[in-house]
Chain A
Amino acid sequence: MPFANSNKGVAATAATSLPASTNRYLGWSERWLPKLSLFPTLLVSGTAIYVFIVWTGVLSFTGSRMLPRYNFVGFDSYRAMFATERFGVAATNIVIYASLYIAISLALGLLLAILLDQKVRGEGLLRMIFLFPMSLSLIVTGVVWRWIFNPGLGLEKFAYDMGFVDFKLDWIINPSLAIYTLVIAAIWQSSGFVMVLMLAGLRGVDGSIIRAAQIDGASMPYIYWKIVLPLLAPVIFSATVILGHLAIKNFDLVVAMTNGGPGYATDMPATFMYAYSFERSQIAVGAASSIIMLGVATLLLVPYLYIQIRRGR
Chain B
Amino acid sequence: MTAAITIKSLRKTFGALTVLHEVDLSIEPGQFVVLVGPSGCGKSTLLDCICGLSQPTAGSLHFDDQDVTNLPPRERDIAMVFQSYALYPSMTVRQNIEFGLKVRKMPKAERDKEVTRVATLLKIEHLLDRRPSQMSGGQRQRVAMGRAMARRPRIFLFDEPLSNLDAKLRVEMRHEIKRMHQLVRTTTIYVTHDQVEALSLADVIVVMKEGHIQQVGTPQEIYDKPANTFVASFMGSPPMNLIPARMKRRDGVAGAELLPAGGLPNWIKLQEPAKPIADGEELIIGIRPEEFHFTSERPLLDGDVAELTLPINVLEPLGSEYVFTSTVNGAEVSARLNAKSGPHPDGDTLQVLFEPRRVCLFDPGTSNRL
What's the interface size class on A, roughly?
10 to 19
Q: Determine whether the beta carbon of B100 is less than 8 Å from that of A217.
A: yes
Complex CA–CA separation, A206 to B78 (angstroms): 21
Looking at A206, A209, A216, A218, the one whose CB has the most chain B CB atoms below 10 A away is A216
Q: Determine whether the beta carbon of B73 is less than 8 Å from that of A215.
A: yes
User: What are 12 of the A-B contact pairs (CB < 8 Å)?
Assistant: A208-B82, A208-B86, A209-B86, A211-B53, A211-B82, A215-B51, A215-B78, A216-B99, A226-B88, A227-B88, A230-B89, A230-B90
Complex CA–CA separation, A230 to B91 (angstroms): 9
> 1/0 per position for B167-181, CB-CB distance to A under 8 A?
000000000000000
Which residues of the other chain, A, contact B88 by a CB distance below 8 angstroms?
Answer: 209, 212-213, 226-227
Grouping DSSP codes into helix (H, G, I), strand (E, B) and loop, the B interface class, with mixed when no group exceeds half, is loop
> How close is A117's CB to chain B, nearest CB, in angstroms?
16
- The answer, among A218, A227, A230, for a CB contact under 8 Å with B74, is A218
Q: Determine whether the beta carbon of B90 is less than 8 Å from that of A212.
A: no
| Besides A208-B84, A215-B73, A227-B90, 12 other A-B contacts (C-beta < 8 A) | A206-B84, A211-B80, A212-B82, A212-B86, A215-B52, A215-B53, A215-B80, A216-B100, A217-B73, A218-B103, A222-B103, A230-B90
Q: Given A208-B84, A227-B88, A231-B89: A214 and B74 within 8 A (CB)?
A: yes
Which residues of the other chain, A, contact B51 by a CB distance below 8 angstroms?
Answer: 215
Which residues of the other chain, B, contact A209 by a CB distance below 8 angstroms?
Answer: 86-89
Identity of the chain A residue whose Cβ is nearest the Cβ of B83 in the assembled complex: A208
Tell me, yes or no, whether B344 is within 8 Å of chain A by CB.
no
Q: Given A208-B84, A222-B103: A215 and B90 within 8 A (CB)?
A: no
Which residues of the other chain, B, contact A230 by a CB distance below 8 angstroms?
Answer: 89-90
Closest 8 CB pairs of A and B: A230-B90, A217-B74, A216-B100, A212-B86, A208-B86, A208-B82, A217-B103, A209-B86
> 1/0 per position for A224-242, CB-CB distance to B under 8 A?
0011001101000000000
Q: Given A208-B82, A208-B84, A208-B86: A213 and B99 within 8 A (CB)?
A: yes
Which residues of the other chain, B, contact A212 by a CB distance below 8 angstroms?
Answer: 80, 82, 86-88, 147
Identity of the chain B residue whose Cβ is nearest the Cβ of A217 in the assembled complex: B74
Interface residues of A in 196-221 (CB under 8 A from B): 206, 208-209, 211-218
> 1/0 per position for B79-116, CB-CB distance to A under 8 A?
11011101111110000000110011000000000000
Tell me, yes or no, whether B369 is within 8 Å of chain A by CB.
no
Which residues of the other chain, B, contact A206 by a CB distance below 8 angstroms?
Answer: 84, 86
Tell me, yes or no, whether B43 is within 8 Å of chain A by CB.
no
Which residues of the other chain, B, contact A208 by a CB distance below 8 angstroms?
Answer: 82-84, 86
Which residues of the other chain, B, contact A213 by a CB distance below 8 angstroms?
Answer: 88, 99
Which residues of the other chain, B, contact A211 by a CB distance below 8 angstroms?
Answer: 53, 80, 82, 86
Q: Determine whether the beta carbon of B73 is less than 8 Å from that of A214.
A: yes
Tell me, yes or no, whether B269 is within 8 Å of chain A by CB.
no
Tell me, yes or no, whether B293 is within 8 Å of chain A by CB.
no
> How close is B202's CB to chain A, nearest CB, in angstroms?
23
Which residues of the other chain, B, contact A216 by a CB distance below 8 angstroms?
Answer: 74, 79, 99-100, 103, 147, 151
